[in-house]
Chains A and B, each alone.
Chain A
Amino acid sequence: ETGVTQSPTHLIKTRGQQVTLRCSSQSGHNTVSWYQQALGQGPQFIFQYYREEENGRGNFPPRFSGLQFPNYSSELNVNALELDDSALYLCASSRDRHTGELFFGEGSRLTVL
């Protein structure tokens, strides 16, 4: 158990719809990072939030957006869903933005039809 929880665990959407994924970070952690993991691939960095502000972004279009709340929980929003957005979305929290020791949740499996 990492103390990082994600919801929902599975969901199915259709092309063009919007989705919100949620993550609660481990107690004492102020940094949350989001990753997209396609089947058989390594996780791809989407973005990181540190103390409610975006602190770095990977190669994802603007329709991927996020928020971090004062309690350091976080949301990932994806607009105008495409078939290729089907993946496991992983959230990870860490004690600060410089460490590579991230604590991952078990992910939200998104299927876009």
Chain B
Amino acid sequence: GESVGLHLPTLSVQEGDNSIINCAYSNSASDYFIWYKQESGKGPQFIIDIRSNMDKRQGQRVTVLLNKTVKHLSLQIAATQPGDSAVYFCAEGGKLIFGQGTELSVKP
């Protein structure tokens, strides 16, 4: 069965606000997680990854937090822009076991 899953299927935020997308996983042995963004009509696009020896990793306007105690990770997007509107997936492992996805809508 699915080993990663996102908490909310949809998320709506105001342009300029911060967005937080949450994901839970079930396998305590999982040690590598990746976030992807998929825009309509396109393939998924890599955003950021994190290994289990880290709690936090930052990229450009994005931060991923990993809480191994509760088997939870989150993707934070700062100053959300209309171009951030997409479906976001968390995935586990090098062969990428994807969750269901959260659709982020950004209101102007």
Q: Which residues of A contact B (CB under 8 A)?
A: 2, 4, 33, 35, 41-45, 48, 56, 58, 90, 92, 97-107
The yes or no answer to B61 lying at the interface (CB within 8 A) is no
By a CB distance below 8 angstroms, the chain A residues around B16 are: none
Q: How large is the interface on B (under 10, 10 to 19, 20 to 34, 35 or more residues)?
A: 20 to 34
Contacts known (A42-B89, A43-B96, A56-B95); A101 close to B46, Cβ less than 8 A: yes
The yes or no answer to B45 lying at the interface (CB within 8 A) is yes
Closest to B5 in A: A42
Q: Are A106 and B42 neighbours in the complex by a CB distance under 8 Å?
A: yes
Q: Are B44 and A90 neighbours in the complex by a CB distance under 8 Å?
A: yes
By a CB distance below 8 angstroms, the chain B residues around A104 are: 43-45
A107 to B43, CA, bound (A): 7
Closest Cβ of chain A: how far from B103's Cβ, in Å?
9
User: Which of A42, A48, A102 contacts B101, CB < 8 Å?
Assistant: A42
Task: Give B87-101 as 1s and 0s: 1 = Cβ < 8 Å from A's Cβ atoms.
Answer: 001010111111111
